[in-house]
Structure 1
Amino acid sequence: MNSAVRTTLPNGLRVVIVPDRLAPVVQTQMIYLTGSAAAPNGFPGTAHALEHMMFNGSKGLSRDQLSTVSARIGNVSNAFTTEDTTQYYFQAPAHYLDVLLKIEADRMRHVLLTDADWSHERGAIEQEIARDLSMPFERFLIEQNKALFGGTPYDHDALGTRESFDKTDAKLLRGFYDSWYQPNNAILLIVGDVDPTETLDKVRAEFSAIPSGKLPPRPVIDPAPVKAKTIKVDSDYATGILSLAWRLPGSDSPDYAAAQILADVLGSNVERFLLSSRKARPSRPSSPIIRASTQVLAALWPPSPRDRTRPPYSTKFVPFWRRSVRRVFPPIWLTPPNARKLRPSNSTPTGSPI
């Protein structure tokens, strides 16, 4: 990262350019510093809905034109929404960087956002909701988030709800877009086979003319102490799921980077722990899933049906994982009310406080 170039344009757009000559490819990622936490009351999926609408046409490119251009240049593109950010990426041969920058600059302030386009896109979003809610594991994660962040903007899933999308219209989306999709609320990341100086000149040419905007107050996240709670989720799983979850320090905390690295470290350690235990059990049980976001670090243990006849593997796994976390995190982040253990099941009480 010593070769990375960082700068801020006069309009507030932060730019990070990381040259990487490994392959003749470039990726742009436009990160808007807003997500589901900033959604209007009663409309938890607004940021996610706008994410979809950003691919439905702008002043310079219609939806079909964007799709055609992407296909012809061999572009891979997508986006995702979290509680605090909405991120859009394009990846293509490096000599098409100019095209990618023009697309993002046009979308920053000129997305069309018509009722007709929203009517077309709403069905796709509702299919996403139906897919996720059909999975007991995802429903459990939604309830876990409510237990950890009840009463805050983090307690609802970034995906949104069918009920709120039925009430959403283009006017609501336009209001959210105009409030948050401003250059002074965005970071443009460019990584790949590029010359930093030339790339920065191209960025200035495309984005400097876009004026900065006045941003609304950001949502205040002030979680209350976590209360012991049993979570029950209807499921066709043969077994329950054990989850150890901690609320993490936010992205403004000096502990944030360590928290993100911790997830990878624990995932690696757990894998080693499981492999070392194969002497006791020749047929290895299912592995835990280590998940981390800005808000939560969780180890999720979904046993496979073949594990039902074995002693509870978590009796060894849980103490190991807790010891690993405590070596990295200061005690303030690890003691109740920040720690929770939750176990969903289709028939029995499902949780107890740590």
Structure 2
Amino acid sequence: MALSKSSIQETVLENGLKVLTLERHNIPIVCSMIWYKVGSVNERKGETGLSHFLEHMMFKGTDRYQKGEIDLRTLVHGGHNNAFTSHDYTAYFFNFASDRWEVALEIEANRMRNCTFDPEEFELERRVVLEEMKRNLDSPWGWLEMETEAMMFLLHPYHHPVIGWQEDLEQVPREAVVQYYHTYYLPNNATLVIVGDFETGKTLEKIRELFAPIPPGPPPPSITSQEPKQKGERRFKVIQETNLSRLEMGYPVSRINHPDTYALDVIDTLLSSGKSSRLYQRLVEKEKLVNFVHTSNDPRKYGGVFFIYTELRPGKSLGKVEKILGEELERLKQEPLSDEELQRAKNIIAADFTFDQETTYELANALGRYETLHSYEYLATYLENIEKLSKEDILKVAHQYFVDENKTVGWSVPEKPERRTSVLYSSPSVPVGGIASYRQGNRGRGARQRGSPAEGEPGRGGPSSVRQVVTEVEPKKWVLENGLTVLFLENRSHPVVSIQAYVDAGQKYEPEDKAGLAYLVGALLDEGTQRRSGLEIAQTMDFIGGNLGTSSTGVSAQVLSKDAHIAFDIVSDLLKDAAFEEEEIAKERSKQLALIKSEQDDPNAVAYNAFCELVYGSHPYHRPKKGYTKTVKAICRPDILAHYRTYYVPNNTLLAVVGDLSEAEVHDLVEKYFSDWPKRPLPEVKPLKAERLTGPKVKYVPKAKEQLHIYLGHLGIPRDNPDYYALLVMDHILGTGPGFTDRISRKLRDEQGLAYTVYANITRSATEEPGIFSAYIGTSPENKDKAIEGFLREIRQIQKEPVSEEELENAKNYLTGSYVFKFETSAQLTGYLISVEKYHLGFDYLRRYPELVRRVSGEEVQQVAQKYLDPVNYALVMVGKIKP
């Protein structure tokens, strides 16, 4: 669905601020974003990371808003806020219900020129940024991504990681950030984007009132440096303490306003989008060399990059994988695409373009990004330009850019270094003393970095936005003769249909000695049925631009509404007639074993799995969903067939459908594709036992990582616990509030600078079975004692003293006012319908929810904290490079 230029209004204030407005009245939400034309590309050597550091400081106080007040006002008004920095821009956004969104304009107008940069806050935030850097580098991809880009751009400032180099961040003075702010944060260097349920005329009046008085400044310095043409292949090797090898390749390509960008997007799509894509078929399916392969065309303002990344299976050759990647790129240059393959790529791009328009945030993000890099009008003609592309265009562009002497290759090799990660370089183009001196950093990769919203906050009018959604939500429910429960919601806002089939078949039903069975069955669902091969399934869904997902609990699909019948056919086929051929079982088992190894390279995942082992004891949830190497190797075809035939039956399935269809159409489709699914009796299930710890348990897993990853907690509650809503309010006061409004985030991150990521909650993991109460932090090893004591202190505090009326009201306002954000997309709505039915909440839950939250008292919060939190008998897991 193309985005009409006429639907977007452009206004430029006298001070140079550009304003883009787009009204959408299908749901009461407004997203406001302000984009500054400044990113790491504007930084000089020795002063890297200023853009990202400044982004952090924009939340730390102005002449009007004290530290924490921006997050607090977001909380009180029921919204979300966050920000992100990339090479070419820095962006800030707020999502609010449409009856209180203008507070976002007040905040943005004030902090454009009035941030205070308190010296103490500056030093605290320096610690936080350094912890963020360490977190990034603890990812198995961190070093590889940073070094690839640094080697690709030797002179141009794209060389610098967005987060900056460690030595620069450790010594950058406050004055440098302040000067940077005054140079670039100007109305004539910014674009304000408003998308959602508002009136343009009134909004522009408010914008003029708030922003027009801000004076423009001199034009910021322009970027004059140019990267010289690469004259030879560049490569390096990262030696890390990991289990698997990884590879990243980069080719310099055109800037965003170049016509070749469209062909590069198509190449990106046909190489790695979907299971029928060329690289997936060659490297994952045929050669069985890698766990995944991904490509990304990243067009930027001053020159783009085409990335290829892949993670190898154990024992596979990096050289062989790189050779095959080269062969596939050469094939692009020598062989014209088939008509079907070219159209498939175009269809995927067009469908994704439509899916992204379901949310106000994605629309605002696209408008702001393209206006900042080139022009928002790019979006209005994007699909038209994609559709014009010919096979000859693809050949020409592939020939121009995928040249061996232009590529940069990075290998990550799983060896155990004596001390720390090391990087070895081999490139005639690298100046002596250049790359070898580079240190830690993180790349915010333009097109891929979207800045996940920090959770927001509601105002006293909170329930009104929920009621407004309720009037739109009229779900229907019916049950087929075979026991299949169907849930349907008509949603005509976009030509999209989402389907979710939830099957109660998860890990709690697998034997202990076959752990990972449910995961393997889910992974095999789309690898072939009695009527279709796995490739035919992938080709069918990819050709219509649809998304198909499988898991241990069923199947989901998202398609354009014109293709709904195809999605129903595919989903029903997977649920009724999956084939589980021996060849496919062997392939998926091998992949699952490799993914288990891959997970062990992520210290957070290692910590979480170890934490569950301690907390759950003998309960099935103590096991990782993928199982263990030994148990997965033991799974055979009879085990898979028995699990599938036992649990994948209509009387054990909920089918939710949301989208651009009528009730009659869905009735017909369900009857056609699901009525012949035979009902079978379900086995009697004994209640599972999960018991609380009766003493502390501690586990330390040594890993040579930058941070210590800490989990502290114990058994939680099931979703049907009558105290759920009191615990939900408690969570948002204690450790899961938006921004840094909760106690743990405020104390451990905002006031002490111990971490970038820190949280605690008990309700988020609650399902039919008890979840967990978990407090997590990733911090430098020397902060271990402060972090653990910080968790325990806040737990004791909320048990000992009643929460304040202000904290209580703020949490309830947030929970009621922000609820509207759960209902923007068709996929969100299918998930909502499944949850309502699964947990027996009733279709009036949306109407009842505000009152369920509102009636929670401060006394109840204290009581449930005393009842369900235990600062004595807890599990403590630490993964890192120091011993406790």
Q: Quick check: TM above 0.5?
A: yes
Q: Residue 172 and residue 312 in structure 1: after superposition, are their counterparts in 2 closer, same or farther (change >3 A)?
A: same
Aligned counterpart, 1:232: 237
Contact residue 274 and residue 287 of structure 1 kept, 8 A: no
Alignment of 1:252-331 (within 5 A): 252-256=257-261, 259=264, 263-264=268-269, 266-268=271-273, 272-273=277-278, 276=281, 280=286, 285-293=290-298, 294=300, 295-305=304-314, 308=316, 312=320, 316-321=324-329, 323-324=331-332, 326-327=394-395, 329=397, 331=399
Aligned counterpart, 1:185: 189
Aligned counterpart, 1:97: 101
Using the TM superposition, name which of 251-260 and 210-219 deviates more. Answer: 251-260
Deviation of 1:162 (Å)? 2.9
Contact residue 40 and residue 46 of structure 1 kept, 8 A: no
Aligned counterpart, 1:70: 74
Between the aligned partners of 1:82 and 1:108, the Cα distance in structure 2 is: 19
Alignment of 1:207-246 (within 5 A): 207-226=211-230, 227-246=232-251
Deviations 1:262-303 (A, max 9, x none): 54554316653466567757x794121223432312010111
Contact residue 79 and residue 95 of structure 2 kept, 8 A: yes
Greater Rg over alpha carbons, structure: 2
Using the TM superposition, name which of 22-31 and 174-183 deviates more. Answer: 22-31
Q: Which amino acid aligns with 1:246?
A: Y
Runs (5+) with no aligned partner, structure 1: none
Q: Which amino acid aligns with 2:132?
A: E
Between the aligned partners of 1:128 and 1:329, the Cα distance in structure 2 is: 38
Aligned counterpart, 2:61: 57
Q: Which amino acid aligns with 1:296?
A: V
| Residue in structure 1 matching 2:153, options 149, 156, 159 | 149
Using the TM superposition, name which of 50-59 and 315-324 deviates more. Answer: 315-324
Deviations 1:242-267 (A, max 9, x none): 33321122234344465456545543
Q: Which amino acid aligns with 1:244?
A: M
Aligned counterpart, 1:247: 252
Aligned counterpart, 2:39: 35
- Match of 2:103, SS state, is helix
Aligned counterpart, 2:401: 333
Q: Which amino acid aligns with 1:299?
A: I
Deviations 1:137-179 (A, max 9, x none): 2111111112210122111101113321222222111100010
Aligned counterpart, 2:121: 117
Between the aligned partners of 1:298 and 1:23, the Cα distance in structure 2 is: 37
Contact residue 152 and residue 221 of structure 1 kept, 8 A: yes
Aligned counterpart, 2:660: none
TM-score where L is the length of structure 2: 0.37
Contact residue 244 and residue 339 of structure 1 kept, 8 A: yes
Q: Which has the higher contact order (CA 8 A, sep 6+)?
A: 1
Aligned counterpart, 1:198: 202
Between the aligned partners of 2:32 and 2:173, the Cα distance in structure 1 is: 29
- Match of 2:237, SS state, is coil
Between the aligned partners of 1:87 and 1:268, the Cα distance in structure 2 is: 28
- Match of 1:290, SS state, is strand
Q: Which amino acid aligns with 2:68?
A: D
Contact residue 242 and residue 344 of structure 1 kept, 8 A: yes
1:12 aligns with 2:21: no
Between the aligned partners of 2:147 and 2:198, the Cα distance in structure 1 is: 44
User: Pairwise CA RMSD of aligned residues?
Assistant: 3.0
Between the aligned partners of 2:286 and 2:266, the Cα distance in structure 1 is: 30
Aligned counterpart, 1:25: 29
Aligned counterpart, 2:443: none
- Match of 1:109, SS state, is coil
Between the aligned partners of 1:56 and 1:140, the Cα distance in structure 2 is: 32
Between the aligned partners of 1:191 and 1:235, the Cα distance in structure 2 is: 44
Deviation of 1:20 (Å)? 2.5
1:344 aligns with 2:349: no
Between the aligned partners of 1:289 and 1:37, the Cα distance in structure 2 is: 25
Identity among equivalent pairs (%): 25
Between the aligned partners of 2:44 and 2:10, the Cα distance in structure 1 is: 33
Deviations 1:170-194 (A, max 9, x none): 2111100010110111111122222
Deviation of 1:198 (Å)? 2.8
Aligned counterpart, 2:767: none
Q: Which amino acid aligns with 2:309?
A: L
Q: Residue 318 and residue 195 in structure 1: after superposition, are their counterparts in 2 closer, same or farther (change >3 A)?
A: farther
Aligned counterpart, 1:160: 164
Q: Residue 309 and residue 139 in structure 1: after superposition, are their counterparts in 2 closer, same or farther (change >3 A)?
A: closer
Q: Residue 110 and residue 266 in structure 1: after superposition, are their counterparts in 2 closer, same or farther (change >3 A)?
A: farther
Q: Which has the higher helix share?
A: 2
